[in-house]
Amino acid sequence: MSNTSIAAYPTARGKECLDLIGAQHPEWRVVLNPRKFVADVNVMVMENERAMLVWLVYPQYEDWKLYKELAAQFECGWMQVFFQAHIAWEYNLHDAQEQIIDRFQTLPSMWGHETGPVGNAEVVAGRWSIPPANIQRYLKPWNERLRRRKAYWCRDEFRYGQYEQGHDFLRAVTGLSFPGA
């Protein structure tokens, strides 16, 4: 999962999401809540009772554009989590008016910066109605001291310094993850 992104929405409307994508892109194969990774699919959607993840797997379309269109249809804010070149992850949190209201970068030096957006656990947690403490430890810029540690040892699969840690973050925010991601 290199140079891709996943969108998270604080709403559970998976079937409606499939219908909307299918109407706009009838040539695409879209699956809802797969139990294992599905090859040759364009979009995977995961949902539970309070959230939804959308992953445009093989972009033939700008993923940001699709995610923005879904947010407009659902009249809600959304978060786009980027997985950058097998190196880092970061996010932009958008409100319902498409404005970025929070950002975070694990590795600002990747973009030539000494410091980057630090993220605000309270803002993110408020959108998904979770305690900020559930995600606060993910919002640390990576450094050598953190490299061998996990943000939440008992529940995380990945460590600081692994771009896949973004999946642990998404799971902490939404309670969802994609199989094989």
Q: Backbone phi, then psi, for 27, in 5-degree steps?
A: -80, -10
Which pLDDT value is given to residue 170? 96
The per-residue pLDDT for range 7-35, each reduced to its tens digit, is 999 999 999 999 999 999 999 999 999 99
Work out the pLDDT band at 47, boundaries 50, 70, 90. very high
Which pLDDT value is given to residue 127? 95
Average pLDDT on 151-157 reads 87
Which pLDDT value is given to residue 59? 63
Domain ranges of the chain: 4-174
Average pLDDT on 29-49 reads 92
Work out the pLDDT band at 180, boundaries 50, 70, 90. confident
C-alpha R_g of the chain: 16
Which pLDDT value is given to residue 60? 64
Which pLDDT value is given to residue 181? 62
Average pLDDT on 66-79 reads 94
Work out the pLDDT band at 39, boundaries 50, 70, 90. confident
The per-residue pLDDT for range 73-101, each reduced to its tens digit, is 999 999 999 998 788 999 999 999 889 99
The per-residue pLDDT for range 113-132, each reduced to its tens digit, is 888 889 999 999 999 999 99
Work out the pLDDT band at 2, boundaries 50, 70, 90. low
Task: Share the mean pLDDT of the chain.
Answer: 91
